[in-house]
Structures are given as structure tokens and as C-alpha cells.
């Protein structure tokens, strides 16, 4: 019957909210985008590359659109927010998931060149900052929320490389500082996963075995584990300035 409510529709937590998830053409970002979609949100899928994959994900959502933008480019970040507002007319949630790394043994100082540091920080820190600043006015209008996807590498001396770990530590602290100055209109939190099973980590067998043996939960995370916490932080209107680990308890043992 026309106008009849679909069973369960009223319980969808983010009905008609607009959510931008950077780096969402696969892995954690894709899981976050799909989780918001399942809860009624209108979702902007984004990637710097992987255009076909991003477009396919957006097409599969109930109300999704794909915009290509490399957030390391400040002009592209500004355009990404403008395109989101032009298409949906508002922005309620920004999930800064896009990230970059390079696997370099921590002892290998020479290969962790300044070029590597700049490349990683351009996305993980500078790009995230620029995009958040560009989105602030739109988020403020909706009493919005920012969730940064960081890493336990920003909390412990671990991670795929020292530049990567340092970038995530910077992002964790940025989260706290932004929460302090953007409240009460905008809440800012972070999710810090341990090892997550994604296409990027599929060959990390040794690391996975270590996590399975050391972590109390005896497994590595799934992208959905991270997505669930992202939605929880977005939904709770009183939590801000928190960096929540999603690591199966690994940091309790390391």
C-alpha cells in the first residue's frame, strides 16, 4: 500500500543522514559505507584511484554516489565536500578512513626516507586535516560527527613502518584536539584497529598468526568489526575526543 511503512524501516539509525566515507572502495571503508547504508544513510563513496570498484559499490547501495578525490590534494578535498553538498544538500558524518602506508622494517632507518614520510603524512595527517576543515561548516549545521580511522600503531611501538605509526599517533592526537575545539556542534572520535583482514593484509600470515596467538579474542579483526564501532561512535551524541581500540585485546598483551 502506498505510504505504508516498511517493516524495520523506522528503526534504521541513520535514516536520511548523509555520510562521506573516504577510501571506501574496498576493505574497512567499504564495510563502513555498507553499514551506514544498511541503517538508512545516504552514502558518498570515495577513493583516490580504484574508480570502477568505488562506482560499483556506490551503485549497489540504496542511495549512494561515488566521487573520486585524492585527499592529499587540498583542492580535491575542497571539491569533494562541495560535490557532496551539491548532490545531497547536507553532510552529517565524515569518516576519515583513507590512509597510506609502506611496509618497512622499523630497524631499516635508511629506507624510511623523508620522501616516504611526506607521502604517508600527506594522506594520513595533512589530507585528513584539510578535508575535516573543509567539511566543518556543513557538519556544524547538522550537529555532525567525525570519525577518524587510525591504528593501534599510533598507540604502541608497532605498525607497518615508523612513518606510518607516527602518522597514526598524530591523527590520534588531532582527534582529541579537534574534539576540544569543535564541540558542542561537532563531535570527533577515532577508531584504532589492530590487524584487520583486508585485501591489503591478506599476505601478512606471520602477523596474523601472532595476533591469533596473543590476542585474548584469538583472531584478527574483520572490516565489519571496525564498522560497528564507527557507527556506535557516530550514534552516541555525548561521546567525543575518544580513541577506541578495536583489537581483540591485543594491546592488553603487548
Note the pLDDT tens digit of each residue in 14-45: 999 999 999 999 999 999 999 999 999 999 99
- Any domain includes 6: no
pLDDT reported for residue 79:
98
Distance, CA of 27 to CA of 47 (rounded, Å): 12
pLDDT confidence band for 10 (50 / 70 / 90): low
- pLDDT surpasses 90 at 59: yes
Number of folded domains that form the chain:
1
- What percent of the chain stands above pLDDT 90? 87
Q: Write out pLDDT tens, residues 200-222.
A: 788 888 888 988 999 899 998 99
- Any domain includes 3: no
- Any domain includes 119: yes
92: which residues sit within 8 A by CB, 6+ positions away? 14, 17, 18, 19, 41, 139, 142, 144, 145
Distance, CA of 158 to CA of 154 (rounded, Å): 8
- Any domain includes 8: no
How many CB atoms neighbour CB 61 within 10 A?
19
CA dihedral 171, 175, 180, 185 (to 10 degrees): 140
Is 238 designated active site?
no
- Any domain includes 4: no
What cell numbers appear for 115 in the block? 620522501
Range of the domain at 218: 13-252
Q: Write out pLDDT tens, residues 160-210.
A: 999 999 999 999 999 999 999 999 999 999 999 999 988 878 888 888 898
Q: What CATH number did the domain enclosing 30 receive? A: 3.40.50.720
Sheet holding 187-193, edge to edge: 64-68, 42-47, 18-21, 93-96, 145-149, 187-193, 243-246
Which residue, among 104, 91, 117, has the nearest Cα to 36 in the 3D structure? 91
- Any domain includes 1: no
Residue where the block lists cell 560535490:
83
Phi, then psi, of 239 in degrees rounded to 5: -95, 125
- Any domain includes 222: yes
Sign of the CA dihedral with 36 first, then 12, 183, and 242 last: negative
- Any domain includes 136: yes
Catalytic residue among 164, 182, 194, 226: 164
What pTM was computed for the model?
0.93
Amino acid at each position: 500500500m502506498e505510504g505504508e511503512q516498511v517493516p524495520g524501516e523506522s528503526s534504521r539509525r541513520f535514516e536520511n543522514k548523509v555520510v562521506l566515507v573516504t577510501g571506501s572502495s574496498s576493505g574497512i571503508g567499504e564495510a563502513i559505507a555498507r553499514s551506514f547504508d544498511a541503517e538508512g544513510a545516504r552514502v558518498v563513496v570515495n577513493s583516490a584511484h580504484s574508480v570502477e570498484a568505488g562506482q560499483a559499490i556506490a551503485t549497489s547501495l540504496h542511495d549512494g554516489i561515488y566521487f573520486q578525490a585524492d585527499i592529499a590534494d587540498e583542492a580535491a578535498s575542497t571539491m569533494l565536500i562541495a560535490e557532496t553538498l551539491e548532490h545531497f544538500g547536507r553532510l552529517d558524518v565524515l569518516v576519515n578512513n583513507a590512509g597510506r602506508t609502506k611496509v618497512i622494517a622499523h630497524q631499516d632507518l635508511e629506507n624510511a626516507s623523508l620522501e616516504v614520510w611526506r607521502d604517508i603524512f600527506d594522506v594520513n595527517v595533512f589530507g585528513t586535516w584539510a578535508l575535516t576543515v573543509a567539511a566543518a561548516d556543513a557538519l556544524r549545521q547538522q550537529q555532525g560527527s567525525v570519525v577518524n580511522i587510525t591504528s593501534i600503531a599510533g598507540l604502541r611501538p608497532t605498525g607497518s613502518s615508523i612513518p606510518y605509526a607516527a602518522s597514526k599517533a598524530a591523527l590520534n592526537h588531532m582527534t582529541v584536539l579537534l574534539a576540544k575545539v569543535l564541540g558542542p556542534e561537532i563531535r570527533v572520535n577515532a577508531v584504532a584497529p589492530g590487524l584487520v583482514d583486508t585485501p591489503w593484509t591478506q599476505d601478512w600470515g606471520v602477523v596474523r598468526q601472532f595476533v591469533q596467538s596473543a590476542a585474548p579474542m584469538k583472531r584478527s579483526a574483520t572490516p565489519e568489526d571496525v564498522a560497528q564501532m564507527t557507527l556506535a561512535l557516530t550514534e552516541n551524541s555525548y561521546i567525543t575526543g575518544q580513541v577506541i581500540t578495536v583489537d581483540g585485546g591485543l594491546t592488553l598483551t603487548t
